[in-house]
Chain A
Amino acid sequence: GNSVTQMEGPVTLSEEAFLTINCTYTATGYPSLFWYVQYPGEGLQLLLKATKADDKGSNKGFEATYRKETTSFHLEKGSVQVSDSAVYFCALIFRLRGYQKVTFGIGTKLQVIP
């Protein structure tokens, strides 16, 4: 079946450091890939998405490229800020018998220190 493997955290970085959070997937068909962010005590917010191979999603300085050859969708940011501290979830959305299905990674907690 479809699955998402996400690096376990927590990840602790200093402000302005480079961020990579790894995400790989297994899937049949043509899923869409997403990154969501969850701030403490809140629901999930869509951060970025990519709907087909080689698409690059980007938002708020974050980027991720849908790489079919390596089945990956790694999240990157060139210079993190304290306000980026949150939990990041990689997700795969696909259709099964006409209905939407979703698989989430375990979430990676990012802590940015001043």
Chain B
Amino acid sequence: GAVVSQHPSRVICKSGTSVKIECRSLDFQATTMFWYRQFPKQSLMLMATSNEGSKATYEQGVEKDKFLINHASLTLSTLTVTSAHPEDSSFYICSASWGGNQPQHFGDGTRLSIL
């Protein structure tokens, strides 16, 4: 089946640090990748949708300058949390799809903890 790799799985860093999370589709070309944030015991909150070769589309309330998304190729998207603060601590999950009404395939998530 389709495999999506997300790295790192866990990050602990000091306030003010920028953190980059990678999302790779290993065995298929993902025309669209999605970034989600999940708070404890809650559903997924879509942050942004990124299409290869074009700018990401951010959901309302998500700061573009805070959460930088780059979708440089059909197999790689990155999310950079710039100047992270404790309130950015969360579980971030990416997913990838080859478009249309095809399913999204999820990475294992990144647990970000800002001290």
Contacts and interface: CB of A to CB of B under 8 A. Distances in A.
A91 B106 CA distance: 13
Interface in A62-105: 89, 91, 93-95, 99-102, 104-105
A104 B44 contact: yes
A106 interface: yes
Contacts, number: 64
Contacts of A46: 1, 103-106
Nearest to A106: B43
B46 interface: yes
Interface range on chain A (Cβ under 8 Å from partner): 20 to 34
A5 interface: no
Contacts of A3: none
A107 to B, nearest CB: 5
A32 B109 CA distance: 24
B69 interface: no
B69 to A, nearest CB: 15
Contact of A93 (B6, B46, B101, B109): B101
A32 to B, nearest CB: 4
Contact of B6 (A36, A43, A100, A101): A43
Nearest to B98: A100
A17 interface: no
Interface of B: 1, 6, 32, 34, 41-44, 46, 49, 51, 57, 93, 95, 97, 99-109, 111
Given A99-B32, A100-B102, A101-B49, 8 more contacts: A30-B101, A36-B106, A43-B109, A44-B106, A93-B102, A100-B101, A102-B34, A104-B43
Interface of A: 30-32, 34, 36, 41-46, 49, 51, 89, 91, 93-95, 99-102, 104-107, 109
